[in-house]
Amino acid sequence: MVQSAIPLTDDLKKEIGQHFIFGFHGSTPFSGKGTDILTLTGPGYWAGNVIYMKRNVVEPESEDADAKLGRAEVLAGHIAGLQSHARKSGQTVGLGIGTDQEGGLVSAFSTAGVLTLL
């Protein structure tokens, strides 16, 4: 008995995309190599999860437009932008956002003298 193939519809791609998590290069997903994540969470791929690594969490540079904001505010803005992009791309489930935060010596989300509890 030969089984027929299941058609790979956009709805099925979105469902499959919920099982994948991707990171991005640089400190922002909206410029440079970081924009690859927009492709992966957008139409055709619909990856459902994004992970932030230490390389993505930097202090804003003084000439940067985000310089007046702290790290948390910059990250919150990036995450909101990613969520908006995913919705506009047809995702019906919000992106899962993860962090590479093991609670050990490597700590992307804390500063000297400040412990991060997530």
Report the distance separating Cα 41 and Cα 47, nearest Å. 5
What's residue 67's pLDDT?
A: 55
Model confidence band, residue 118 (pLDDT cutoffs 50, 70, 90)? very low
Residue 3 clears pLDDT 90, i.e. is over it: no
Average of per-residue pLDDT across 101-112: 60
What's residue 117's pLDDT?
A: 47
* CA 18 to each of CA 28, 30, 48, 61, 107: distance values in angstroms, whole numbers, following the listed order: 22, 21, 4, 34, 27
Model confidence band, residue 104 (pLDDT cutoffs 50, 70, 90)? low
Report the distance separating Cα 83 and Cα 110, nearest Å. 24
Q: What are the pLDDT digits (tens) for 16-72?
A: 999 999 999 999 999 999 999 999 999 999 999 999 988 888 776 655 555 567 788
- Where do the domains of the chain lie? 10-99
Report the distance separating Cα 78 and Cα 27, nearest Å. 10
Burial of 53 (0-12, 13-18, 19+ CB in 10 A): middle
Pair 41, 49: CB distance under 8 Å:
no
Report the SS3 class of residue 45. coil
